[in-house]
């Protein structure tokens, strides 16, 4: 069996995001028969296959796809006009093609399995649609407004690509439900589930070098992730303000967005952080490597993830695997990921009061740590990849 795999997400900003994590772990854990061959499709500007930690004995080859586009948004929009998507793989005699990023299109010339992460831009369309009003023009500028509309066009095209795939792998039961609800053209028997898992690097540690490096000097709460509206970081900061008024503690916000604040919609959050009466206790180290993140997880009073919607919520598992109590919300995929190990809140609940309770009850935190470790152990990348390969072999017409 010849299995094609698009690894371009490892050569873009996706490398350190969910899609990149999935591709990396898929390559680490993939198991093929001796006569199977993996065909990696990638940009040809770097020898990224040398960095993939492919299993020993795996047979593979590379198909270069030219250099990455200098104007990716415009190039992507133009590529959608090509018949059959962006890629024809028929000359490579593939039994199946695995597309981890449907934004790259569903190619022609082989059965295709694609991975679906969430439908957040569709579910929260009002928050992701700028329109063409004078206010939107003033906020984004001409170039920004054009970019917003190109992204909206590309997302609609991406959804059509999902519907064209022979098999779709959802990363959670919640995402599968969303796919079948919002994409009625997608037959249920073509959509399976392969839940994600925490990398083995996430484990409890007593090392605290990262805390000293990043200015942690007090008991602290931790958040890691993005800053778009659904992440509800404003709600987290407001809750921290109330908690900090009665307790000497810190809030550590990990992620590059807390340094760059690229999008105009993030300016209000930046202003909130910059003008906070407790700004000195709100730490923003930016992006940090995994070993430092594990230390921050392990030493935190709690990991707080007040997201309004997730396709999976991998940071919840990473925190639990690192021995950190988790406080999150009861929505989307989060209950199936967190199980009963986290403190699950409804969106109308008082987050500040819940955080105060966790801070005040050491016994409860110890119970949450133990329960979290058990919950995280229920997820593993070998199991995930095994479920993915079941879908791959089914699409290729192989039962074993």
HSE toward the beta carbon, residue 182, CA cutoff 13 A: 19
Task: Tell whether the model's pLDDT for residue 354 goes beyond 60.
Answer: yes
> How far apart, in Å, are the Cα atoms of 281 and each of 217, 245, 272, 286, 328?
9, 12, 13, 15, 22
- List beta partners, residue 193: 170
Q: Kindly report which listed range (132-141, 202-211, 323-332, 380-389) carries the lowest average pLDDT score.
A: 132-141
**Is 60 exceeded by the pLDDT of residue 295?**
yes
What is the three-class DSSP state of 393? Answer: helix
Looking at the chain, the whole-number percentage of residues with pLDDT higher than 90 is 63
CATH of domain 209-377: 3.40.50.2000
**Per the structure block, which two tokens stand in for 350?**
């008082």
pLDDT value at 391 more than 60: yes
Q: Percent of the chain beyond pLDDT 70? A: 84
CA gap 298, 223 in Å, rounded: 13
Which stretch of 140-144, 247-251, 351-355, 365-369 has the lowest confidence by average pLDDT? 140-144
- Report the candidate in 156, 228, 199, 183 with the shortest Cα–Cα distance to residue 293: 199
Q: How many CB atoms neighbour CB 245 within 10 A? A: 10
Write out the residue limits of the CATH 3.40.50.2000 domain(s) in the chain.
2-197+381-396, 209-377
Size (the chain), residues: 400
Mean per-residue pLDDT, 186-214: 96
Which H or E run includes 284?
strand 282-286
CATH class of 2-197+381-396: alpha beta
Full-prediction pTM beyond 0.85? yes
Q: What is the pLDDT of residue 30?
A: 86
Lowest mean pLDDT among 31-35, 201-205, 294-298: 31-35
How does residue 137 score in pLDDT terms, banded at 50, 70 and 90? very low
Confidence at residue 17, expressed as pLDDT on a 0 to 100 scale: 72
């Amino acid at each position: 069996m010849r299995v094609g795999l698009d690894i371009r997400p490892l050569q873009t900003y996706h490398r350190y995001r969910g899609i990149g994590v999935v591709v990396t772990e898929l390559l680490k854990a993939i198991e093929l028969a001796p006569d199977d061959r993996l065909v990696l499709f990638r940009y040809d500007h770097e020898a990224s296959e040398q960095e993939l930690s492919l299993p020993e004995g795996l047979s593979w080859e590379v198909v270069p796809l030219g250099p990455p586009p200098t104007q990716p948004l415009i190039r992507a929009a133009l590529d959608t006009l090509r018949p059959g998507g962006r890629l024809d793989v028929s000359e490579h005699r593939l039994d199946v093609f695995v597309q981890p990023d449907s934004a790259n299109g569903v190619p022609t010339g082989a059965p295709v399995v694609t991975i679906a992460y969430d439908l957040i831009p569709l579910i929260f369309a009002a928050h992701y649609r700028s329109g063409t009003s004078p206010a939107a023009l003033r906020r984004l500028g001409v170039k920004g407004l054009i970019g917003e509309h190109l992204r909206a066009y590309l997302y609609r095209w991406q959804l059509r690509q999902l519907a064209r795939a022979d098999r779709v792998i959802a990363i959670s039961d919640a995402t599968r439900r969303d796919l079948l609800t919002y994409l009625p053209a997608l037959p249920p028997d073509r959509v399976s589930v392969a839940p994600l898992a925490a990398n083995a690097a996430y484990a409890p540690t007593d090392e605290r070098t990262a805390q000293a490096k990043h200015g942690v000097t007090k008991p602290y709460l931790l958040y890691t992730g993005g800053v778009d509206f659904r992440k509800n970081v404003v709600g987290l900061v407001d809750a921290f303000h109330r908690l900090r008024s009665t307790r000497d503690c810190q809030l550590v916000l990990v992620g590059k967005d807390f340094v760059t604040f690229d999008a105009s919609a993030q300016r209000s959050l930046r202003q909130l952080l910059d003008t906070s009466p407790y700004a000195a206790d709100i730490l923003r180290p930016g992006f940090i490597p995994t070993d430092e993140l594990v230390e921050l997880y392990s030493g935190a009073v709690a990991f707080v993830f007040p997201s309004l919607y997730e396709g999976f919520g991998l940071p919840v598992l990473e925190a639990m695997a690192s021995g950190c109590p988790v406080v999150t919300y009861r929505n989307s995929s989060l209950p199936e990921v967190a199980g009963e190990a986290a403190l699950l809140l409804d969106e109308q609940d008082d987050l500040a009061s819940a955080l105060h309770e966790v801070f005040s009850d050491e016994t409860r935190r110890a119970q949450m740590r133990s329960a979290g470790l058990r919950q995280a152990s229920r997820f593993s990348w070998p199991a995930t990849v095994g479920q993915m390969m079941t879908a791959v072999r089914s699409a290729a017409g192989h039962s074993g």
